[in-house]
Amino acid sequence: MNSPVSIVSLDVDQARGRLTELTVIDVRTPGEYASGHLPGALNIPLDLLHRALSVLGDARPELLLVCASGNRSANACALLAEHGVPTATLTGGTNAWAERGHELHRPAGSTRADWSMERQVRFTAGAVVLTGLGLGLRHPAWRLLSAGVAGGLVFSALTDTCGMAALLSRLPHNRPRPADLDATLTALGKRVS
C-alpha cells in the first residue's frame, strides 16, 4: 500500500480550464452517467472503484473524480488517497457544471433520458409517502409507512448517506454491466503514460 496523499478540490472554472489535462472519472451509476456527464468522462461507479485501483494508480494525467454533487466523488478520492493515488474532486459535481451552463455529454446510442439517482430517490420517497397516506384513509396504521420514509429522509440528511439510493442502485437500469467496466478500464489503460 502506498502512503496517503492529499485530496484536491477544483471548482467548475478550475476544472474547465484544466479539462484537457485531466482524466475525468464519473463515479455515479451508469444511469446517472448516461443522463449527462463531463466531456471525456469515463464511468466507474463508486461501488466498483476498488476493482479499478490498479489501473487508476497508473493513470496519467491527474484524475478528476466527479459525481452529481461532489459527495460521492469526495468519498472516492478518500479511497484512492488511502492507496496513494493522487486525485481531485469537482466541487458541486455535474450539477454545478450544468448550472454554470457547461455542456454535458451523453453516451453514443443513448436514446432515453435516464433519471439521476437524486431524482429516483425523490420520486420513490414521494410515491411511498402518498401510498402510505392514501392507504391510511382505509386504516390509520398505514400512515406509519409515510412516517418511516420521513424518518429515513431525516436520518439520510443527518448522516449524509442514503439507504434508498443504495437500494435503487441495485435496480437493473442502474446496475453496471461487467463489460462496461472492462471497456472503461481498457480505455483508461490506453491513457496511461
| 4 in Cβ contact with 70 (< 8 Å) | no
Beta strands per DSSP E along 59-188: 63-66, 87-90
What would the pLDDT profile of 86-109 be if each residue is shown by its tens digit? 899 999 999 999 999 999 998 766
pLDDT at 189 over 90: no
Q: Which pLDDT value is given to residue 114?
A: 65
Asked which of 61-70, 94-103, 165-174 is least confident by mean pLDDT, the reply is: 165-174
Section 37-56 average pLDDT: 90
What is the pLDDT averaged over residues 171-190?
Answer: 72
pTM for this structure?
0.68
Residue type, 138: R
Average pLDDT over residues 49-68: 85
Question: What are 153's three cell numbers?
Answer: 429522509
Neighbour-count burial for 33-45, b at 16+ CB within 10 Å, e otherwise: bbbbbbeebbbbb
